[in-house]
Structure 1
Amino acid sequence: MTNWAMTYPLPPLNALRAFEAAARHLSFKLAAHELHVTPAAVGQQVKALEARLGVRLFDRLHKQLILTPAGQAYLPGISEGFRHIAEATSQLKPAGAVLLQLGVHGSIDLRRLDLAEFRSAHPDIGLRVLQPAGLHELVEGKVDLLIARGPSRHPGYRCDRIDEASGLGDWLIAPEGTADCPEVASFRAWLRALQAETPPANRRPRLVGIGGR
């Protein structure tokens, strides 16, 4: 029997995600909100995909996005492919578990976050950590939540300070669209509990809300 390998001629995954979301919503803006990126980024990904495929997928009219015949033909297969990927991925997770991907900047000591205790206290949340990670990984959807060091405000994101120093500091950053989902709220509450339970002399960073939160 002959052994042979097949290489699938696939376009970039991010470009396919941008097309699929934009096609479902018929809106770059709504697709951007779903994917936690900017509308311009969605438009650029779709444009790059069209250039790679050599076909136009959307007609861009004034304040309206319409699928071309090629886009209409392409969408069902792409949506079905993502559904199969999601189903296959769900089989790898413990029953009922929700995956939370946390990005952390390179200079933070993970021991101060007591992540093992968080996992023990929240068996329904599958926590994975990417370090080092920054805002780029959050924007690209590689992480759901980010502990970053830098300025306080990023448009479209909720930022909570987790230290008491002035100027640059550590922040818990999440897209506004998912900032209050249960797993993110649980991790935010975990940081608050760490502060409350630790004696002042050994106190970990304090979580301080931004913008009245």
Structure 2
Amino acid sequence: MSYRLPPLTGIKAFEAAGRHLSFKLAAEELSVTPGAISQQIKHLERALGFPLFHRLHRSLVLTGHGEALLPALSDAFERMSTAMDAVASSLPTKRLRLGVSPDLTDDPHRLVATLTKTGQAPDYLQVSSTDDVASLLSGALDAIMRPGPGPYPGMHSEVLNLHHAFAPRHRASLVVWPGLAKCREFLKARSLLSSL
């Protein structure tokens, strides 16, 4: 038996672009150019015989077909990633670039390091001290932890209750692009930071 599938590079490009609703952010995630993402998706759309996105002036919107396809593909990639983690934990991963507001702690590296058994920031996390939402919007950061609940329109935001000595404030928002809200690095970081 063979699987009835269009080109896998196009499927991967579509899934990333669909999560982010951005060719640019999908390209950053997959380490290719936005033009490559666009071409892979166009090739996939030709193979399928229908469009997956409405390409607007400065944004993407999923078509009905795209909306129907994205959840199943995201679930399939998530299950493949979980299976790979179980048997090949040494596979390289990208680091989640996390900014931590100086208003939450004077030393974000020490804060994160105290939460781990090794006393060092985990390998899936790159921590910097910043409160600059513009760094998140420009793509210089993947996520940011700031005091208070927000609001952060267009972003995925979760309120954390902090109880750690290095984080004297009691509530913070962990803000991330919606397309990264289910990535394993973000989920691991959220779990780690939730234990503050």
Query: In which range does the TM-score fall when normalised by the shorter chain?
Result: 0.3 to 0.5
Normalised by the length of structure 1, the TM-score is: 0.42
Instruction: Tell which structure's C-alpha radius of gyration is larger.
Output: 1
Bigger RCO of structures 1 and 2 (CA < 8 A, at least 6 apart): 2
